[in-house]
């Protein structure tokens, strides 16, 4: 991070690259409306990729508690925004996360923070789903974890196939969620 703000080193270099991109797109970066755009975009990109500099496992272990509860814990409808690594366009939606504790629980907000950290990296939805599941599984060592993500992809809506109403759903699970009955219970609970 730089001394006087929350932005990382390299911000000025990043802004210069965006200035060049604006020129290559056929615009004049000296035009009044574009004068501050390179720096604005550089700052935005650092915010949108802040997850590279955060440790999701530490987030979970900072609020770890011994607890004998061994039923499903679900945090659903976690809003997220991410950037598609293929086109660097946003995709966004909701994540639903469940785990079955095995003697330890974490603060509920920490589950949402894990989603936030991984979504603030260049991503594909499939990897995002798996990373969230793996992080919770490796850190909490629960009896099982399941993650379902539903998202809209601007790379499908603004370019390419240009389909406005399509939603992509991905899931990943392990442990007790390998049983169809447990997965079905989770799906019924998130559909409410």
Task: Give catalytic residue positions.
Answer: 84-87, 125, 153, 155
CA triplet 33, 36, 39: central angle to 5 degrees? 145
Q: In what order do the strands lie in the sheet with 168-175?
A: 122-123, 73-84, 90-100, 144-153, 168-175
181 CB-near residues (< 8 Å, 6+ apart): none
- Distance (Å, whole) CA 161 – CA 154: 10
Instruction: State the DSSP code for 160.
Output: T
**What is the full DSSP assignment across 78-94?**
EEEEEEETTT--EEEEE
**CB-based burial of residue 11 (10 Å sphere; 0-12 exposed, 13-18 middle, 19+ buried)?**
middle
């Amino acid at each position: 991070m730089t001394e006087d703000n929350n932005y990382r080193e390299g911000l000025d270099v990043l802004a210069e690259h965006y200035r060049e991109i604006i020129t290559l797109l056929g615009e004049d970066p000296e035009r009044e409306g574009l004068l501050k755009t390179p720096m604005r975009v550089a700052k935005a990109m650092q915010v949108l990729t802040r997850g590279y500099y955060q440790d999701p496992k530490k987030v979970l272990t900072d609020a770890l508690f011994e607890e004998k509860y061994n039923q499903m814990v679900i945090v659903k409808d976690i809003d997220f925004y991410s950037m598609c690594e293929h086109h660097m366009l946003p995709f966004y939606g909701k994540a639903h996360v469940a785990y079955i504790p095995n003697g330890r629980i974490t603060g509920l907000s920490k589950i949402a923070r894990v989603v936030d950290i991984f979504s603030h990296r260049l991503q594909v939805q499939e990897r995002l789903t798996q990373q969230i599941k793996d992080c919770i599984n490796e850190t909490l060592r629960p009896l099982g974890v399941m993650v379902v993500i539903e998202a809209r992809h601007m790379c499908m809506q603004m370019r390419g196939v240009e389909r406005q109403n399509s939603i992509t759903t991905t899931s990943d699970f392990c442990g007790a969620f390998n049983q169809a009955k447990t997965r079905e219970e989770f799906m019924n609970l998130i559909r409410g």
